[in-house]
Amino acid sequence: MIPLKTIEELITKHLLLEKDLASGNIDKKLFAEKSKEYSDLSEIIDDAKKYITFEEDKKDLEKIIEDKTSDEEFKKMAFTELEKLKSEHEFKEKKLKLFLLPKDEADKKNAIIEIRAGTGGLEASLFASDLFKMYEKVSNKKKWDLELISISKSDAGGLKEVIASIKGKNIYSTLKYESGVHRVQRVPDTETQGRVHTSAATVAVLPEAEEVDLKINESDLRIDVFRAGGPGGQSVNTTDSAVRITHIPSGLSVSQQDEKSQHKNKAKGMKILRARLYELERSRIDQERSQDRKSKIGTGDRSERIRTYNFPQGRVTDHRINLTLHKLEEFLEGEAFDEMVESLTLQAQEEKLSRLKS
């Protein structure tokens, strides 16, 4: 049960924000922040008010049911209304608990997604390519803006590695559970005996960090420039346009050579480095907060096998929540992706709620 005082504070806060926003005396910098807070509260304020009046409404209906002078038909109606009230109250309580859960400040951020071929040779690189195409299709359906940062292709036409940034609404909250090892089971085109092979690719989804989120001192960076290798334009192999940025304190290093311009390569490299450092710091803080707890649904362990895509049986299984969807083709087309995300999000919320009770 949520303390009524907590709910009353939400109602009071909503009223004060409403008055502040209507006054027109708010600093421009605070206006957007307060407007967002007011909008978020507005989504649950009716539930909060009804939660407050629940006990009183319940007592009124119970009086009618217990009153010996009341008409039997009237009592039946009151009983039905009471059952409905209890059911709605339970739903509102869960909704309010979820609202009161600590928010992940990164949820509304854009994201950087990194996909790398794992075990399985050329077949793994083809699977990495399939995963990237899936995220591209999801982005198109949601009208997100996907921008390629770097790409390395394999001999088979697959991908050894691809890094992209995705911009839009609530990107990280949607994609954060994709981090981990994705495994594929299928018969490769080169397999003459029809045997099923198992390959893997790793996915890392990082919240895109702004400069205000993370201060990186120039003195902590070592920047090396070198001549880019591989296929490219006229100048790609003749000028020192490739950049390697090393963050000395953490040892993290990023190389970028896709652009002909050294300046553009450095900018892209810094975007990746900032995201990785931000996620490193977030992981450190999370571990300190919950040293004795391990969430079933992680968002950062790239060595954890999270999902299997089984082509012979046409299914995709998420091992963290034991959910199997028998619609592999639709999933890879981005059609059934939301169904998986909603189940993962719901399970993660349930875990947080259970930890609050313990």
What ranges do the domains of the chain cover? Answer: 4-100, 111-209+299-357, 218-288
Report the pLDDT value the prediction gives residue 236, as an integer from 0 to 100. Answer: 47
The token pair at 285 is 């803080």
**Which whole-number Å values give the CA distances from 252 to 95, 103, 274, in the listed order?**
41, 28, 10
Residues of the chain where predicted confidence (pLDDT) is lower than 50: 231-236, 291-293
Cβ-in-10-Å burial (0-12, 13-18, 19+) of 2 comes to middle
Cβ contacts of 30 within 8 Å, gap of 6 or more:
none
Give the chain's end-to-end CA distance (angstroms, integer).
13
pLDDT at 113: 96
Angle between helices 72-100 and 4-23 (to 10 degrees): 70
- State pTM to two decimals: 0.71
pLDDT tens column, 123-170: 999 999 999 999 999 999 999 999 999 999 998 889 999 999 999 988
pLDDT of residue 26: 84
CATH 3.30.70.1660 fits 111-209+299-357, yes or no: yes
For residue 87, with 0-12 CB atoms within 10 Å meaning exposed, 13-18 middle and 19 or more buried, which class applies? exposed
Q: Give residue 212's pLDDT.
A: 67
Return the CATH class of domain 218-288. alpha beta
Alpha helical stretches, state H, 142-291: 171-175, 262-289
Same fold yes or no, 111-209+299-357 and 218-288: no
